[in-house]
Amino acid sequence: MNRSIEHKLTIPEGFVFQRLDQAMVELLPQYSRSLIQQWIKEGNLLVDSEKVKPSFKLVGGEQVLIDCSLEDVITAEPEAIPIDVIFEDDYLLVINKPVGMVVHPGAGNDSGTLMNALLNHDHNLAKIPRAGIIHRLDKNTSGLLLIAKTNESQNRLVKDLQSRVINRIYYALVYGRTPYQEGNVSLSIGRHPKERKKMSVRPDGKSAKTHYRVIEIFEGHCFLECKLETGRTHQIRVHMQALGNPLIGDNEYGGHFRRPRSNLLELEELLRAFSRQALHARKLSFRHPETGKDILLTAPIPEDFERLLETLREAN
C-alpha cells in the first residue's frame, strides 16, 4: 500500500556547504539516505522549487518540499496461485498478469496478489525487495510484468527503467476518434486535489509523456497502441482522458458507458458490461541484465478485450 509523504522545511543556517542528501538525513532521520537520494533524483524533493542533484551544496535558508508516495513494507506469504510465465531464466521472470490481480499486498488485499504467487513460484524471491517486481500494473490492467530474480538483476533493471532503456507498449480501446493518426501527450501528472486515490493533469505535477498510434478506427471508437516514455501512476488513463478519448470501461477517468451509434445489440451489451479499463500491456522490450542481449516479448490479448475488439469490427 502507498501512503502520501509531504514535508515542507527550511534548511537551517548551520548546514552551510553541506551536501543536500547528507543534510536531509540529519533533518529527517526516519528515512534512509538511499531513499532520500532517490527522491532527489526523481524530482520528488525540490529545493526552492527546483530539481537539483543529491550533491547540491547548501547555503542555508533554502525551502525544501518533499511530495511523493511511500510504499509500506508488507510481509507476504507464498500462495499456490497459478501464473502465466512468458519468459524465465536464472536472472529474471516475465509474466502475463491477468485482469483482477493486485500486484502488491495492501489494505483489503493481503492475499491473492501477484507477490503471493511469485513467492510460491520461487521461494528465493523472498530475498529480493518487493519480490523482484520492477514495475506495476493496475489491478484491472492485464499484460506483461518484469520481475528480477537476483539483487544484481534488480539493480540493473531499475536503472534501465529510470533511463528509459525498458520499453512498454500497451493496447487500448478508447471512446471517440483521436485528433491525429499518431501523436504525443505531454502533460504533467500529480495527485488529484480532492480524490487522493486518483491522479490528474496538474501544472505542478511530474512530467509525463505518452506516445500513441491509431491501429484501427471504428465509428465511435479507436484501437490504439500507446508507448510510455515516463511511467507515472495511471499515466495512459489520465492522458487519454485529457485527450478527449477515455478508455472504454474506465469509470474513474471518464470512460463511462456511451451508447454506440451502431444498432448492433451485442456491441451495446458488451460496452455496458465492460467494467474495467480496456488496457493491456502488450509488448515489453529490455536489455537482459546479465547477457546484455535485447529481448522483445508479447502477451496475448485477453478474451474480454478481444471479444470487444471483434464486435467493434463487426459493427463498423
Of the candidates 282, 276, 273, 226, the residue with the CA atom closest to the CA atom of residue 255: 276
Residue 164 burial by CB count (10 A; 0-12/13-18/19+): exposed, middle or buried? exposed
103's grid cell: 500486484
91's grid cell: 536472472
Give, as one character, the DSSP assignment of residue 149: S
- The reply to whether 138 belongs to the active site is yes
Which residue stretches of the chain are H helix? 20-27, 33-42, 114-121, 151-162, 235-243, 265-273, 303-315
92 sits in which H/E element? strand 92-97
DSSP string, 260-280: -SS--HHHHHHHHH--S--EE
Active-site hit among 21, 67, 138, 250? 138
Q: Is beta strand 189-191 parallel, antiparallel or unpaired with respect to 199-201?
A: antiparallel
Of the candidates 108, 110, 151, 148, the residue with the CA atom closest to the CA atom of residue 132: 148
Q: What are phi and psi of 248, to 5 degrees?
A: -55, 135
CB 147 within 8 A of CB 126: no
**Annotated catalytic sites, by residue?**
138
